[in-house]
Amino acid sequence: MSLALIVMLPFLGAALPALMIRAGRNACALATGSVSLVALVLLLTHAPAVLRGELVEAGWEWLPGLGLNVNFFLDGLGLLFAGLILGIGLLIIAYARFYLSPDDPMGTFYSFLLLFQGAMVGIVLSDNVLLLLIFWELTSLSSFLLIGYWKHLPEGRQGARMALTVTGAGGLALIAGMLLLGEIAGSYELTEILQQPELIQASPLYLPALVLILGGCFTKSAQFPFHFWLPHAMAAPTPVSAYLHSATMVKAGIFLLARLWPVLAGTDAWFYLVATTGLATMVIAAVIALFKDDLKGLLAFSTVSHLGLVTMLLGFGTPIAAVAGVFHIINHATFKAALFMSAGIVDHEAGSRDMAHLGGLATLMPITATLATLAGASMAGIPLLNGFLSKEMMLDAAAQTSWAGQVWVVPLFATLGAVFSVAYSFRYVVRVFFGARRDSYPNPPHDPPVGMWLPPALLVMLVVLIGLFPATFAGPLVAATAAAVVGGPLPDYQLALWHGLTPAVGMSVAAVAIGLSLLWRYPVVRAAWQAGPHPEAKAMLRATIDALVSTSRELVHGVHNGSLQRYLVVMLAAMLALGFTVFLTTSHAPGMRPTLPAVPVAVVAWLLLIGACTTAVLLHRRRLVALVAVGVVGLIVSLGFVYLSAPDLALTQISVEVVTVILMLLALNFLPKRMPAESSVGRRLRDATIAGLAGLGVGGLAWAAMTRDFESLSGYYLEQSLPGGGGSNVVNVILVDFRGFDTFGEIIVLGIAALAIFALLDGALRGSVGRRLDAWVPDQARSKGRHPMMMVVATRVMLPLALTVGVFIFLRGHNVPGGGFIAGLVVAIALVMQYMASGFGWAAQRMKIDYHALIGSGVLIAAVTGVASWLAGFPFLTSTFGHFHVPLVGDIELASAMAFDLGVFLTVIGAVMLALANLSRIGRRAAHQAVNDEPMDAYRPAVLKVRPREA
């Protein structure tokens, strides 16, 4: 499990810097570095086995049904990238300690850095595709935080947004592509996917998967035409640039190309898409880098160019090119991180990174100049340094590659990229350190403290050692990594300074000579460059986003105009068109199940149902009449449940109908009694046609279902209700046992709805709405006898009986019709009647119950019942039951589901009463100027003032 620990250590340690910063900057940096160091040490313990060709695996099942397992594996490729991430990350942590100013929140920076580090390590060690995608998106989010770390700078915020936009969009494409790849292979484990190249490349989904995956890789690794985000990300602090844009984030796409090389490479589509993109990126970015005056801008475009170089090598699809690509990944990480840190040193100590303000720093900053010169020479591909070796291997692979049958295309453009690489590398070194010394600088230049120059010095030492002794210091790692990329045996190759006189040597000599010539004639070359067109990617992206936003806004405003009627028309018309099209264009046979004769009672109820529905439709503008008609519909439906032997549903329907009608009457009290006609005759005819067709379609579906034999889950519930749930009332056992989780979610929704009613209506007592209520005059005369004595007496006599009935229904619900939901409605109705008969003030003074707490108690009791199952070692909400002997009573059965049902009972009462209470508060506020015979509600006491009615 040490692989999982390596991944999790940075995440677990991310909170450490935020805490240790209180102990000082040194303690904070030391704590952060210790996290990366421990993870690196754990990684290196596996290095001997990996270098021997072994595969280290670890993980556990998480959601196996969805193919999501927490599996990690370590091979040569994972070892290389994890080593770069943790090793260079450790150097960056030390460098940042001295780079960041006292005003910069160091603890926040290190926390963001560790989050990013953990996400990157997760990518390179993940075995499960879905897990890899999670870490992939985490790199986009954490890099957004790092790039925008200096949030007071507009360019920092803009660069962070641009990076997140581009890489996030590519991440969406990658998700789709990787899911397709897993679907083709029949597994989401990379170790299994990599064993099936023939199956994947023969699949018709290969090309779509390839294009989508490349979209994710190219955006993350800043390949043309997605290269523009990386230079704008240079607004981040230099430690971020040195880490994200040389060794980690921008190489995530390269890593994935290398990881999937065994199953995706080797086809024409792979070659032309990957190699061409890499070649174009290498040349275009190299040309742009030559004309950048900002040090980090030059290094950013040089990074893009070298990433294109590696992409091109992987795109060639040959094992020897893959070896060259792996070797250059190592070399580029060493010299480019050192160059970024040297640029940061110049900016930090000289006060600028603009070449126009720099020059002649070699005598003023000799240590920095030495480090930058060696790293720059390696980037240019000068012999005796590691960059020369991988450049020669790149040129040799390019010389042996043809493009569309033309053998000169790839060698020519690869040499051209090398030419500009020489030019911009020497321009960086010569212009900054060996140019004319200036009379003044923004700050007096001097070498930094050892904490800033030691990290790049260690990297430059590797540049020299690998350049002089490549087989010793890089050979085993290159071999193990390349073998993991190729997925098979490697061809014969040799990492050496001299391979004889080859075409690559001639191409390299030409590149150095022409590159130095360009630098010699730089003013003329720059003038020619400035005379040509310069498309600005940033402006193009901004214009594209603005156009998309404008088009989307017009589309949304045109379609989503707030008319619910239009939405219903569009949805119903689409469903009807689809349904009737399928029905009319396919063959179907009538159902063979015999029908039953309709008894007179059912026919009468059916006619009443049609009449009530018709009344509600025709008289819907008369709100009270429509409400009565809807109530009639509910009662007839409840009779249908009784007729079909569903007493539980009938009781529920009747109870819900009574509560709904009462609450709706209270709500309608504040609305006009008639709704104005808002639709034209043509629109009403359209709506009637759609409604009629929809009814015909639903009726046809019901007829088709009922006239055909089908299997239902009801048989299982009937058989298992008593032995499995301990109750003979199947409906209640389903609600509290078999589908208890659904019921738990429903009571939560019910409680949320009641709280939403409270929040909405509570606002009506204040502000402009409250003032309108104060001035509101009822549109009809009110009864002077608001609380009839007969109703008051009847409800008070019925209250104990009703409560007893509610308790009785609750206790019997597990075996006969009843249960917590019905009992809650019955008790709520009994309480509602008290409020209606005697007034809200009178009832509230005598019932000291907080309905918010009642809802919360109900949900909490239901949740505790479910958690108790966990504690007993069973799944959430698993119920149990048993038989117990009670003296004087006898044997009784008790089920744990009764506690869950109690939660349902309390939630229902609380939700109904909270809605009633708030509607009553609004009603009393609105009518107080007409009648003032009771105190303000118990929730918010207030002084009532009688105002005269307005004329």
**What pLDDT, on a 0 to 100 scale, did the predictor assign at position 682?**
83
Residue 746 pairs with which residues in a beta bridge? Answer: none
Quick one: 37 exposed, middle or buried, by C-beta within 10 A (0-12, 13-18, 19+)? middle
**What pLDDT, on a 0 to 100 scale, did the predictor assign at position 178?**
93
For residue 833, tell me if it sits in a domain: yes
The pairing of strands 68-74 and 56-63 is antiparallel
Gap between the Cα atoms of 585 and 562, Å rounded: 35
Domain boundary among 650, 669, 688: 669
Statement to judge: residues 652 and 733 lie in one domain? no
Statement to judge: residues 661 and 744 lie in one domain? no
Tokens standing for residue 451: 């904490």
Statement to judge: residues 661 and 748 lie in one domain? no
For residue 860, tell me if it sits in a domain: yes
For residue 880, tell me if it sits in a domain: yes
**What pLDDT, on a 0 to 100 scale, did the predictor assign at position 418?**
92
Gap between the Cα atoms of 58 and 744, Å rounded: 37
Statement to judge: residues 771 and 852 lie in one domain? yes
Statement to judge: residues 735 and 664 lie in one domain? no
Radius of gyration of the chain (CA): 38
Statement to judge: residues 361 and 441 lie in one domain? yes
Statement to judge: residues 754 and 860 lie in one domain? yes
Gap between the Cα atoms of 479 and 52, Å rounded: 10
Gap between the Cα atoms of 340 and 242, Å rounded: 5
Whole-angstrom distance between the N-terminal and C-terminal Cα of the chain? 82
Statement to judge: residues 655 and 735 lie in one domain? no
Domain boundary among 645, 669, 693: 669
Among 392, 261, 248, which residue's Cα sits nearest to residue 314? Answer: 261
Among 163, 155, 85, 77, which residue's Cα sits nearest to residue 119? Answer: 85
**What pLDDT, on a 0 to 100 scale, did the predictor assign at position 775?**
66
For residue 191, tell me if it sits in a domain: no
For the beta carbon of residue 645, count every other beta carbon within 10 angstroms.
8
Statement to judge: residues 634 and 775 lie in one domain? no
Domain boundary among 669, 688, 721: 669
**What pLDDT, on a 0 to 100 scale, did the predictor assign at position 90?**
93
Q: Which domain holds residue 926?
A: 729-951
Statement to judge: residues 627 and 766 lie in one domain? no
Gap between the Cα atoms of 276 and 272, Å rounded: 5
Statement to judge: residues 736 and 656 lie in one domain? no
Gap between the Cα atoms of 417 and 515, Å rounded: 10
Give one word for 308, left, alpha or beta, with left for phi > 0 and alpha for psi -120 to 50: alpha
Residue type, 873: G
Backbone phi, psi, residue 195, to 5°:
-90, 5
Statement to judge: residues 350 and 275 lie in one domain? yes
Gap between the Cα atoms of 632 and 706, Å rounded: 26
For residue 749, tell me if it sits in a domain: yes
**What pLDDT, on a 0 to 100 scale, did the predictor assign at position 769?**
66
Sign of the torsion angle spanned by Cα atoms 77, 82, 87, 89: positive
* 673-730 residue pLDDT tens: 777 766 778 888 888 899 889 988 888 888 888 888 877 778 888 888 888 888 888 8
Among 898, 900, 904, 868, which residue's Cα sits nearest to residue 726? Answer: 898
**What pLDDT, on a 0 to 100 scale, did the predictor assign at position 940?**
39
For residue 315, tell me if it sits in a domain: yes
Look up the pTM and report it: 0.68
Gap between the Cα atoms of 842 and 591, Å rounded: 60
- Total domains in the chain come to 3
- Let me know: does 729 contact 895? Beta carbons within 8 Å: no
For residue 207, tell me if it sits in a domain: no
Gap between the Cα atoms of 841 and 350, Å rounded: 78
- Let me know: does 216 contact 177? Beta carbons within 8 Å: yes
**What pLDDT, on a 0 to 100 scale, did the predictor assign at position 734?**
87
Percent of the chain topping pLDDT 70: 92
**What pLDDT, on a 0 to 100 scale, did the predictor assign at position 784?**
63
Q: Which residues contact 320 (CB under 8 A, 6 or more apart)?
A: 393, 397, 491, 493
Residue 59 pairs with which residues in a beta bridge? Answer: 71
For residue 586, tell me if it sits in a domain: no
Quick one: 782 exposed, middle or buried, by C-beta within 10 A (0-12, 13-18, 19+)? exposed
**What pLDDT, on a 0 to 100 scale, did the predictor assign at position 781?**
64
Residues of the chain with pLDDT under 70: 1, 65-67, 246-247, 535, 537-538, 677-678, 764-765, 767, 769-770, 772-786, 888-892, 921-951
Gap between the Cα atoms of 522 and 291, Å rounded: 9
Quick one: 69 exposed, middle or buried, by C-beta within 10 A (0-12, 13-18, 19+)? middle
Among 941, 675, 648, which residue's Cα sits nearest to residue 823? Answer: 648
Gap between the Cα atoms of 40 and 33, Å rounded: 10
